[in-house]
Amino acid sequence: MIIKYFELNKVDLNKNYFFLLHGENQGLKNELIENKFKRNYLEKSYNYDENEILNNKENFYDNILSNSFFENEKLIIINRATDKITNIIEDILEKKITDLVLVLNANTLEKRSKIRLFFEKNKETISIPFYEDNNQTLMAIVNNFFRSRKILIAQQSINILVNRCRGDRQNLNNELQKIESFILNKNKIEIDDLLKLTNLAENYNVSELVDSCLAKNKRKTINILNENNYSLEDCIIIIRTFLIKSKRLLKLSTDYENGKKIKDVISSYKPPIFWKDKAIVEDQIKSWSYINVEKLIYKINEIELLIKKNSDIAINVLSNFIIEQVTSANN
């Protein structure tokens, strides 16, 4: 049979159902497994990977049928399930094993999938599809997170978090966990904190765009601009990323102009610059003088204010700023 995930609360787990959880919303599936299944079985739950079972079927059957392995109720979770395990599931169901709840965790399955059809048509099995969360649902998760912790956060920052997770609740939850570690004694989180704590600035080629511009790579910068349809939230992230990287460049330029070798300047910088970024950072140092980086930072602050006051032309303002920087001779 088929049910919706929120209808699972009406299901009596003591009736030994077999469950198929399928779809791309891994975050919601994980929440359901933890809160609905594992919470009821505590230490009596066992996780398998499908390949682990297929490679050693005898051991899997021995564990299921052995009384010493399970005392009373038991929960088996099979991750990354596919059609390959259909025959084994059919066989287990036919054995009428008592006190067994079995959960298959699968990615997206086609309508003609063998395992999906089996779970949908059988009265003793339950199939639950998990679709991507919409922005309204994700917005509610973020709002509840900060409200319950009495943390102030701008709506713009919330929009950025939601838009960047691309409908992926697990990705959103991972970012919220990082934020939670940071805000132990805080009652407010700023957008700069958000960019530093999360992976958001790496999405949509933002970091690559800023790095290319600061390195004076005109062709690559313009290509990235042309390939992306940026929103207002994107513009804020881009200009804040410019500010973060320009402040780093200011410190690097200071050391370089004080006579330090460029490779020593990069290798001694804290926090360390990732090895794959060292070449482009070297290009940036060579492309900018200290005084011009100072002017750039002042200009960035002006552009951010302009973007916020003129949201309807934000992308034009930002694009003009980027093209101006990548084409000008600053060193």
| Location of structure tokens 């003009």 | 320
Q: What is the fold, at CATH topology level, of the domain defined by 135-198? A: Helicase, Ruva Protein; domain 3 (1.10.8)
Query: Omega into 271 within 30° of 0, i.e. cis?
Result: yes
What is the per-residue pLDDT for 295?
Answer: 93
What is the per-residue pLDDT for 118?
Answer: 93
- CATH 1.20.272.10 domain span(s) along the chain: 202-327
What is the per-residue pLDDT for 249?
Answer: 95
Q: Is 204 exposed, middle or buried (0-12, 13-18, 19+ CB in 10 A)?
A: buried
What is the per-residue pLDDT for 198?
Answer: 64
Provide the edge-to-edge strand list for the sheet that holds 18-23.
45-49, 74-79, 100-106, 18-23, 125-130
What is the per-residue pLDDT for 276?
Answer: 77
Q: Are 26 and 170 in contact (CB under 8 A)?
A: yes
Q: Tell me yes or no: is domain 202-327 CATH 1.20.272.10.
A: yes
What is the per-residue pLDDT for 163?
Answer: 72
**Cα-based distances in Å from 89 to 119, 122, 130, 168:** 10, 12, 21, 29
- Tens place of pLDDT for every residue, the chain, 331 residues? 888 777 777 777 666 678 999 987 878 888 888 888 877 765 577 888 888 899 888 888 887 776 544 456 678 889 889 999 999 999 988 888 777 888 999 988 888 999 999 999 988 899 999 887 777 888 888 899 888 888 888 887 888 778 767 667 777 887 787 777 667 677 888 777 776 666 554 444 688 899 999 999 999 898 888 777 777 777 888 898 898 899 999 999 999 999 999 999 998 888 778 777 889 999 999 999 999 999 999 999 999 899 888 888 888 899 999 999 998 876 5
Q: Dihedral sign, CA of 23, 27, 30, 35?
A: negative
Of 205, 265, 215, which is closest to residue 245 (Cα–Cα)?
Answer: 215
**pTM score, two decimals?**
0.53
| Total residue count of the chain as it appears in this document | 331
What is the per-residue pLDDT for 23?
Answer: 86
What is the per-residue pLDDT for 330?
Answer: 65
What is the per-residue pLDDT for 197?
Answer: 66
**Cα-based distances in Å from 130 to 37, 108, 133, 152, 278:** 16, 9, 9, 31, 42
Mean per-residue pLDDT of the chain: 83
- CATH 3.40.50.300 domain span(s) along the chain: 5-130
What is the per-residue pLDDT for 302?
Answer: 92
Q: What is the fold, at CATH topology level, of the domain defined by 5-130? A: Rossmann fold (3.40.50)
The rounded distance, in Å, linking the Cα atoms of 312 and 228 is 17
- CATH 1.10.8.60 domain span(s) along the chain: 135-198
**Strand, coil or helix: what is 10?**
helix
Phi–psi pair at 106, nearest 5 degrees: -125, 155
What is the per-residue pLDDT for 42?
Answer: 55
